[in-house]
Amino acid sequence: MLRPALVRRARARILTMFSGDPEGVPAWVTVLETGDDEGFFGPGSAVWAVHNGTPTIVAGIRALLMQTLHPGAMAGVHDHSRYQQDPLGRLAGTVRWVLTTTFADRAQAEAGCAWVSRLHERVRGEYAGADGAPRDYRADDADLIGWVHCVFADAFIGSHETWGGPVPGGSDQYVREWAIAGELMGMTDPPRSRAELDAAIASYIPVLRRDERVDDAVRWLRSPQLGRAVGPAYRILFAGAVASLPDRYRRMLGLRRPWWPAITATRLMLAGTRAVLGTESSSMRFTRRRLERLAGQNA
């Protein structure tokens, strides 16, 4: 049996990784209690079912792996991101955007997406195309916005399909609902079914490539400096993310499916994470308070 002190330390470390706060209640989480509506999704939605599950932990790794394959996206990360110097800060920022868009009221969700879009306005530069000629990129280009939306949507639903429970309306419903997030970020006509999502990602294949920057990012993602308390668990989750990728993209990344049962090991690791963190996240707890308040006002 794990000692209570060890569980508390593990819980604090995990919550700090994903929220920046050892209790899992930074200011942006407590603000979820405020607002005037249930948000863009709400109870019973496919998005709530997927984003409230622990498979999202693996989804984050899977999305970042896929994101590296687009040379424009990789150039933006390489030139402007502090992911190697401050991996937890970047992770917490991404988590903040996802959970605010998912659980906050509509005004806060829109403001959160606008905040990210303003940050993207400064992310621009140049990379070498496949022919060696320079290519300009901007993080707010429609092409890159579409790529990032699609790989995140694919990672969320793909990880949930592998390790999660039932989704209200199935995978198609999730993709249809999460298209709202793509629109809020400026994407035109995001995919609205699993088949459309798969086709949208495949349409980028002529642009995708593996190069030294991709190899560097994959090496870093394989073994970021997260400390002895979290490192061994992370390596299992990384292997699970790799194993869950479609063969085509795993080969493009130069990765092999682990020889050991990474899917099963990840399932056990996620179950252990649920036991440490509890069945309800702080984001859901504060969101439910808002919904209860609104229900009382409408009674």
In this model, does residue 227 exceed pLDDT 70?
no
In this model, does residue 175 exceed pLDDT 90?
yes
What pLDDT is recorded for position 6?
59
Higher-scoring residue by pLDDT: 77, 164? 164
Say which residues have a Cβ less than 8 Å from residue 56's Cβ, sequence separation at least 6.
50, 98, 156, 159, 160
Say which residues have a Cβ less than 8 Å from residue 20's Cβ, sequence separation at least 6.
26, 88, 89, 92
pLDDT, one tens digit per residue, over 95-107 is 889 999 999 999 9
Distance CA 259, CA 275 (A): 27
Beta strands in 6-138 (DSSP E): 124-128, 134-138
Distance CA 209, CA 229 (A): 34
- Residue 89 contacts residue 137 (beta carbons within 8 Å): no
Quote the mean pLDDT of the chain.
86
Token readout for 122 is 């400064």
Helix/strand/coil (H, E, C) string of 137-185?
A: EECCCHHHHHHHHHHHHHHHHHHHHHHCCCCCCHHHHHHHHHHHHHHHC
Highest mean pLDDT out of 88-92, 154-158, 221-225: 154-158
> What mean pLDDT is predicted for residues 230-252?
92
pLDDT > 90 fraction of the chain, expressed in percent and rounded: 56
Classify 15 as helix, strand or coil.
helix
In this model, does residue 284 exceed pLDDT 80?
yes
Higher-scoring residue by pLDDT: 70, 133? 70
pLDDT, one tens digit per residue, over 14-43 is 666 665 666 667 888 899 999 999 999 999
What pLDDT is recorded for position 13?
67
